[in-house]
Amino acid sequence: MSYAGLEFENAHCLAEHEYSLLNEANVATLLTTGNGYMGVRASLEEYGSLGIQGFLVRGVMDEVVEVRLTMCDNMYMKKYYVEEDRLKKFEKQERAINLLDFLLVRFEIGGEVFYPWDGKVILWKRCLRLSDGVLYREVIWENSKGQQTKFCFSRFASFSDDHTYCQHVTAEPLNYSGQIKVLSGLDLRTKSNGQIPQKTIDIQFDGHTVFQEEIAGPKYGFHAASGVYQTFSGHSADWEDVNEDGIVAQRITFEAEQEKVYTLEKLVSVVTSRDTDRELAECIKEYMDKYKDSSYEKEYKKHSKIYKNLFSKLDIVIEGDDTADRAIRFSNYHTLISLERNDYVHSFSAKGLTGEMYNNFVWWDAEIFQAPVFLQTMPEYSKNPLLFRYSHLKEAKELAIKEGYKGARYPFTTGVTGEETVWTDVRHPFMQIHCVSDIGLSVLNYLAATGDNVFMKEYGMEMLLEICRFWVSRVTFNEEKRRYEILQVTGTDEHHPYVDNNAYTNYSVYNVLSATCRLLERYGEEIASVKQKTGFDEKEKEEFARVAELIYLPLNLETGMIPQFDGYFSLSRELEVQGGSKSGYTQMKQAGLYNKSQVIKQPDVLMLFAYQNLDMPDTIYRRNLDYYQGRCEAASSLSYCVHSICFADMDMPESTYGYLMETAEMDLKNMHGGTQDGIHSGCAAGAWMAVARGVAGMKITEDMVSFTPHYIPWWDKVTFHCVWHNLGYQVTLDNSGINITADADNNNILPVKVNGSSYSIKAGETAVHAFAAARLARNT
């Protein structure tokens, strides 16, 4: 299977065997290296082309000019999607800043610079090793004089130190001896959305080190400093400091001998003012001093030990289907490098740190699609996204006041300040207030996965109280129908703004209100300080309970259908196409009048079953799945994992597998045409969920882990590891049954239920549950 010129050589190596300008932008995304703090796109060391190169640090953002072009050539665009008056005022937007290119290693041989588009490439192999997070490249290049040189490049973002990036480069003259020059250091000529907002304020050379400090942009004025410590071995060489035309580097000149290998190592450190209050130059100097006693190999050993341990927690092994096994592992790699483990300056973003698209904003994807994976695999790090939200509770409360409500109204997207950052010329995001309850659901999911009552008492309950306050002030009581309703919203399906009683929103609010009431009962006076801090009145609990009791939960008992919103079923089942622009920045598959149509962008009702485990009879579940899957144009990459989980719940392996593979191969196959702009991070996380929640049927509550396992007939076995309440366990699923093995070092019994049968699994023991068909076959 070839993906954009890439193919899996084995279970852990995604390789490229031919340099391709056609595929270069997509490959730069797919082979990104990162550690959650930084993301480095797979541009070439010899030249980081614009649109290919990218170096992003979580939370380092500023404002740049952003051109928004649209033509409202149908009534839907005019009245329901674009706010033209705000579009006229729109000019600048916050986004992640592409700081610089520290990968620069440029060889000059016989007076000719090595570029793969010049001379002759005799051998080319580039490989992302999922096993250790290293990007490796091997090239044999011939210049116009016939001189052939073998180059080997290795690099990784360290998992042992967020601020360290390591490069190892070798050059071997194959058929000549002669002078070689190497230019190695920093290329400052990087752009963000085609602009250069950053400004260099200091450059220093000291021995074999290069230092640069810059201001990332004028609005926030974040400082970023980079240091490069370089060593060269194999021959004595002349070193020259270079500071010209945006290149801050050192030129190494040496006389090379045929068939002798020469090695350059670069240990790079990056620190920003978002990380520390100290002078950045001091921080970088400490790293440069530390690197004097280190090497690429030493840093690799530290990195690989941590990386391999973390990746093993996330890895899923599928036997009998190499294509699925490798595509899901690739997705899990990108999910891993999207996680910042060591702070909560920022949270998950829609493209991780693999590209500039979506500006590195934090969306509702963070809580609903990305966080659940780590809740069940690395819970020790999963509180950071919630602490990010807690750190911006003040801004959420201010937004609620601004809109005339109480409590905390979290924004649809946010970046540095915790305030709303979504593009002001689009209407629907300002009504997508389900993002508020999504954060509440994430708090509840964290509690279910970890049992961390300390977190709840210090942070979680305060967030929940303010979220519930918002909803109690936001609902409208319908006197005639004696129920609470939520009016004028947009659900997860962004094609339909200005709707009343969106199913996903209403059910989510009910779940958050109900659970918060239960927790208030449980914690009582244990959270007296939280109540005092928030000014919580016990009468408010009664209000929460009353709204939860009377909120309208859409369901037609006669048909078994859940209307996505009021009047949904009165719309046309077809989509009238009118106009042709679709706007330059929408996620619409057609220029349609979506306001008149049942065609939806992505799942809404089905999200309730897949990600909130809505408990309904299978007949209702199946009916809604069949109907809404047929109405969904899947214009969002977040559609496929939802459909896969739902079809798994209905024991439909062909559809389960089809949507699972669309999830895992989304960017490998560039299915939505945007791979060059970055990985679809929420979709990538959905691949893990489609296997664990979908195929294995795993659900977690505060009381236990439960399974309703299904199977893919052509899979021999699937294995993965999870954690619940600090108790680790391995799941092994095949077509005869499911085994759950508790980790040998567990300090408590793991409560599990499989298809209604309960198991209490002691440390090191295994619960074996055979499928009914397998038991029947053995008995006969």
Side chain identity at 360, as an amino acid letter? N
Q: What is the pLDDT of residues 589-622, one digit of tens each?
A: 888 999 999 999 999 999 999 999 999 999 999 9
Smallest CA-to-CA distance from 508 within 608, 632, 409, 367 is with: 608
User: At how many degrees (to 10) do helices 393-402 and 461-474 cross?
Assistant: 10
Smallest CA-to-CA distance from 354 within 369, 335, 371 is with: 335
Distance of CA 549 to the CA centre of its chain: 35
Other Cβ atoms closer than 10 A to 88: 9
Looking at the DSSP assignment, which residues form a beta bridge with residue 268? Answer: 165, 228
**Cβ atoms of 49 and 101 closer than 8 Å:** no
Side chain identity at 349, as an amino acid letter? S
Look at strands 698-700 and 316-319 and give their pairing.
unpaired
Catalytic annotation, pick one of 299, 494, 662, 665: 494
**Cβ atoms of 688 and 328 closer than 8 Å:** yes
Q: Residue 265, SS3?
A: strand
Listed in sequence order, the residues at least 6 apart from 76 whose beta carbon sits closer than 8 Å to its beta carbon are: 578, 592, 593, 594, 595, 596
**Cβ atoms of 80 and 138 closer than 8 Å:** no
Tokens at 259, concatenated = 């068939």
Cα dihedral angle (682, 683, 685, 689), rounded to 10 degrees? 120
Which stretches of the chain score pLDDT less than 50?
774-780
Smallest CA-to-CA distance from 583 within 426, 430, 432 is with: 426
**Cβ atoms of 681 and 351 closer than 8 Å:** yes
772 burial level (CB within 10 Å; 0-12, 13-18, 19+): exposed
Helix (H), strand (E), coil (C) string for 7-21: EEEECCEEEECCCCC
What integer pLDDT is reported at residue 132 of this predicted model?
98
Smallest CA-to-CA distance from 31 within 54, 62, 47 is with: 54
Tokens at 368, concatenated = 């609903």
Smallest CA-to-CA distance from 722 within 748, 694, 699, 747 is with: 699
Other Cβ atoms closer than 10 A to 5: 18
**Cβ atoms of 350 and 363 closer than 8 Å:** yes
Q: What is the separation, in whole angstroms, between the first and last Cα of the chain?
A: 41
What integer pLDDT is reported at residue 777 of this predicted model?
43
Tokens at 134, concatenated = 């290293």
Listed in sequence order, the residues at least 6 apart from 113 whose beta carbon sits closer than 8 Å to its beta carbon are: 46, 106, 107
How far, in Å, are 386, 486, 487 from residue 471 at the CA level?
19, 9, 12
Whether 494 is a known active-site residue: answer yes
Q: CA-to-CA distance for 51 and 359, rounded, in angstroms?
A: 14
User: At how many degrees (to 10) do helices 322-336 and 681-689 cross?
Assistant: 130
Handedness of CA 504, 509, 512, 515 (dihedral sign): negative
**Cβ atoms of 742 and 728 closer than 8 Å:** yes
**Containing H/E element for 296?**
helix 296-314
List helix spans (H) across 48-102.
75-76, 84-89
